[in-house]
Amino acid sequence: MPYSINILHMFPDLLNLYGDKGNIECMRKRLQWRGIEAKLIKCTYDEPFLDFDKVDIIFLGGGSDREQKIVCSKLLEYRKQLKDYVEKGGVLVAVCGGYQLLGKYYALPDEKIEGLSILDIYTEHGSPRLIGNIVLQNEDISQSIVGFENHGGRTFIGSHTPLGKVVKGFGNTGQSGAEGVCYKNVVATYLHGPLLPKNPQLCDMILEKALTQKYPDFAGLEALDDTMENTANTYMQDIILKK
Amino acid sequence: MKVFFAILAARLTAFLAKIRGGKSSSVPGAVALKICPDLVRRLSAQVRKGIVCVCGTNGKTTTNNLLCSALEGAGNKVICNKLGANMLNGVATAFALSASLGGKIDADYASIEVDEASTVKVFEFMKPNAMVITNLFRDQLDRYGEIDITVDLLTKAINMAGDVTLVLNADDPLCAAFGYKNNKQTLYYGISQKVLPQTDDTKEGRFCPICGGKQWYNYYHYSQLGDYECTKCDFKRPPVQVEATAVSLNASDITFKLNGSDMVLHYKGFYNIYNMIAVYAALTALGVSTENFSELLKSYKPQIGRMEEIVLDGKPVILNLAKNPAGFNQAIGTVLTDPRKKDVIIAINDNANDGRDVSWLWDVDFEKIWSDSLNTLTCTGIRLYDISLRFKYSDVKVDSTTADMKAAIEKTLKTDTEVVYILVNYSAMYTTEDIMLELKKKYGGKA
């Protein structure tokens, strides 16, 4: 049976701060290189989206504060569909602003933005912004995760499992030693932009979740030639950990 | 006395830097400010006719240096931070090094490029008569936070500037919004016709900077620049007082009409039209004659790394600086208009002045670099693997990933191509130019 995965990019017209395209392209290409069909669907600000049943991976990116405010009220209209999707085991990748919006709220100095309450987490604005390269270790994959974080918010994840332990960098609050959240098939993180191209194991973990969810007898992903990806990953680890 | 020692220290520091072969143009100012923190106020207050401040993401240095040439051409003495050191220290360097030890300066105008994030700091000491804002694109996110923060800082700076004439790019809604929101005298410039094929590169500010409503575009120039109109409120591209029309992008030059007069630009890049007409608008705002403007454009030489051509072993090698998606997309567009068989080298660094975050690489339409006339593609710079992966995931073949820029250039000199393009971001620019000049000694220029 030919496999096929539908990736939904939510509000690419609003939440597109810095290279989210890299993550989408990485998922798409790593499916296609294995002969798996990958379709990209967009849910834009103007047109209502109804077909959550047909979606296998949802990507929710980051925006500037202004864009995030615009998107927030729009996103709340989809709260029930998104919540059902996640509880049924749908795969959702949320980055930066998208990560914050999954929580209960984001408290800014002068206002409180209501979130989707899909995760039992909340975010408070803090100063200074937490900016820099970061290395994480996730329990399920051997390759360290390398990326870049830039966030004013401090996210408190309660009893949720983090995406990884911070080896170097700030993470959720700058102090907790944890970064991101993994909940059911949700992967949420502050590591923005082209996170997945340099972290092929993390990308494949996400793809495998989606394929297993859709095809319960899915036998696992074939290996790809990741020489360039792995070199890029190790090279960044060396640079970040040396400093 | 404080002023005397501050200027003396700046001169000594500049002298020492010079004999060490350094290029830093902000250290002398930093030293002077340590001794006399309000030096810029004391010196800038003596400028006789006017101070112009040029800011905006792209085109600051080109615009400011041409403006300086235009003012000098009209017989004025001008203070200018020519090398592009554009934070408070760099501004202080420019003033300190043109002052006498007694703290006197002899200048009709000051034409000062200021980093957007530094405008508030600089305006505390220097009150501009005119302020040019060229455009606002995503740039070096990790330094500025986000583009909204830049807008907030500029808004604050405009308020601090008091009686200032704003010179704004009307085609950029983020720029034009400063004129809409502030009750200041404003001069708008723009390109009033569709010129380029419409692309789908990353658009900033798709939403109205005034009300947040969706903006409708009659046409785009690039990024968010174009003829726009908010679908919800009355914000739209304002009428322009300085206008480019009849634009024609040719193989070796650009021709256009500027407020009806014919202009010829002898170098590449559509975006350069904006730099040129921004200067014209700034001169108009200052009340300086623009009579000889077309002569000025003819004689103007591009800055280092702005489509700078050096012939090596008989082959033209063109170096171009681009710092952000808008700049790179424009550079790639310029490479594509050159039909000659070519090798392309791309160098990406992530030093502090480049921005530590390179995720913007994914907002550039790098895949468009591929064409039938592309011979080899080489990726280099500190983030050589990031840029290589960028191409891998766009199905563009990278011929070489190497940390050695010199070897990369030498290799392209041996191919059967007619031209080499080297696209670099900021900190790679000077090192690459040095290598090119070194190779010129080794191989000679013309064949």
The full set of domain ranges for chain B reads 39-299, 308-443
Specify the residue for token string 């994840």.
A157
- Nearest by CB to residue B148, choosing from A64, A132, A231, is A64
Tokens of B338: 């050159």
Of the candidates B258, B262, B261, the one whose C-alpha atom is nearest the C-alpha of residue B243 is B258
Q: What is the ipTM of this complex?
A: 0.94
CB-facing half-sphere around the CA of A102: CA atoms within 13 A:
33
* Amino acid, single-letter form, for residue A180: G
Would an 8 Å CB–CB cutoff place B386 in contact with chain A? yes
- Chain A positions contacting chain B at CB under 8 Å are 13-14, 16-22, 25-26, 29, 45-46, 64-67, 69-70, 129, 131-133, 148, 150, 152, 192-194, 197-198, 228-229, 231-232, 235-236
Helix-, strand-, coil-residue percentages of chain B, each rounded to 5: 40, 20, 40
Tell me how far apart the alpha carbons of residues A101 and A107 are, in angstroms, rounded to a whole number: 11
- What is the pTM assigned to this prediction? 0.81
Backbone dihedral angles phi then psi of residue A187, each to the nearest 5 degrees: -120, 115
Report chain B residues whose CB lies below 8 A from the CB of A148.
Answer: 142, 356-359
Of chain B, the percentage scoring pLDDT greater than 70 comes to 96
CA-based torsion, A118, A122, A124, A129: positive or negative: negative
Task: Report pLDDT for B53.
Answer: 98
Is A132's CB within 8 Å of B356's CB? Answer: yes
What's the gap in Å between the CA of A29 and the closest CA on chain B? 7
Active site residues of B: 357
Task: Report pLDDT for B251.
Answer: 72
Q: Sorting pLDDT into bands at 50, 70 and 90, what band is B343?
A: very high
- Nearest by CB to residue A19, choosing from B147, B363, B395, is B363
Choose from A40, A67, A225, A243 for mutation: most chain B CBs within 10 A.
A67
Choose from A26, A33, A66, A151 for mutation: most chain B CBs within 10 A.
A66
Would an 8 Å CB–CB cutoff place B155 in contact with chain A? no
- Nearest by CB to residue A70, choosing from B138, B207, B392, is B207
Tell me how far apart the alpha carbons of residues B331 and B322 are, in angstroms, rounded to a whole number: 7
- Nearest by CB to residue A194, choosing from B142, B214, B362, is B362
What's the gap in Å between the CA of A63 and the closest CA on chain B? 9
Is B148's CB within 8 Å of A65's CB? Answer: yes
Is B142's CB within 8 Å of A231's CB? Answer: no
Task: Report pLDDT for B204.
Answer: 54
Backbone dihedral angles phi then psi of residue A132, each to the nearest 5 degrees: 155, 175
What's the gap in Å between the CA of A227 and the closest CA on chain B? 11
Task: Report pLDDT for A67.
Answer: 72
Task: Report pLDDT for A31.
Answer: 98
Q: What is the mean pLDDT of chain B?
A: 91
Is A193's CB within 8 Å of B359's CB? Answer: yes
Is 90 exceeded by the pLDDT of residue B273? Answer: yes
CATH architecture of B308-443: Alpha-Beta Complex (3.90)
Is B390's CB within 8 Å of A194's CB? Answer: yes
Query: How far from chain centre, in Å, is Cα A136?
Result: 14
What's the gap in Å between the CA of B269 and the closest CA on chain A? 25
Task: Report pLDDT for A111.
Answer: 87
Domain ranges of chain A: 4-242
Task: Output Rg (C-alpha) for chain A, integer angstroms.
Answer: 17
CA of A177: how far to CAs of A17, A36, A164, B211, in Å?
A: 25, 37, 9, 40
Report chain B residues whose CB lies below 8 A from the CB of A16.
Answer: 202
- Nearest by CB to residue B385, choosing from A18, A21, A235, is A235
Is A17's CB within 8 Å of B146's CB? Answer: yes
Tell me how far apart the alpha carbons of residues B235 and B339 are, in angstroms, rounded to a whole number: 40
CATH H-level superfamily of A4-242: Class I glutamine amidotransferase (GATase) domain (3.40.50.880)
Contact B58, B204 (CB under 8 A): no
Q: Is B239 exposed, middle or buried (0-12, 13-18, 19+ CB in 10 A)?
A: exposed
Task: Report pLDDT for B228.
Answer: 94
Helix axis angle for B173-181 and B147-160, nearest 10°, is: 40
Would an 8 Å CB–CB cutoff place B401 in contact with chain A? yes
User: In this predicted model, what pLDDT tens digit does every residue of B120-169 receive, in sequence order?
Assistant: 999 999 999 999 999 998 765 545 556 788 899 999 999 999 999 999 99
What's the gap in Å between the CA of A99 and the closest CA on chain B? 17
What's the gap in Å between the CA of B292 and the closest CA on chain A? 43
Highest mean pLDDT among A14-23, B218-227, B239-248, B303-312: B239-248
Phi-psi map region of A117: left, alpha, beta (phi>0 left; psi -120 to 50 alpha): left
User: In this predicted model, what pLDDT tens digit does every residue of B62-88 receive, in sequence order?
Assistant: 999 999 999 999 999 999 998 888 999
The pairing of strands B254-258 and B261-265 is: antiparallel
Task: Report pLDDT for B101.
Answer: 93
CATH architecture of B39-299: 3-Layer(aba) Sandwich (3.40)
Average pLDDT over residues B286-295: 92
Report chain A residues whose CB lies below 8 A from the CB of B146.
Answer: 17, 64-65
Contact A125, A90 (CB under 8 A): no
Task: Report pLDDT for B104.
Answer: 96
Task: Report pLDDT for B213.
Answer: 86
Q: For each successive 10 residues of chain A (243 residues), what is the average pLDDT?
A: 91 76 94 97 83 93 75 88 96 94 92 93 93 96 95 95 97 96 97 92 98 95 97 96 83
Backbone dihedral angles phi then psi of residue B441, each to the nearest 5 degrees: -65, -40
Helices (H), B20-109: 27-35, 39-44, 60-73, 88-97
Tokens of A157: 């994840």
CA-based torsion, B251, B64, B136, A150: positive or negative: positive
DSSP lists the bridge partners of residue B222 as B225
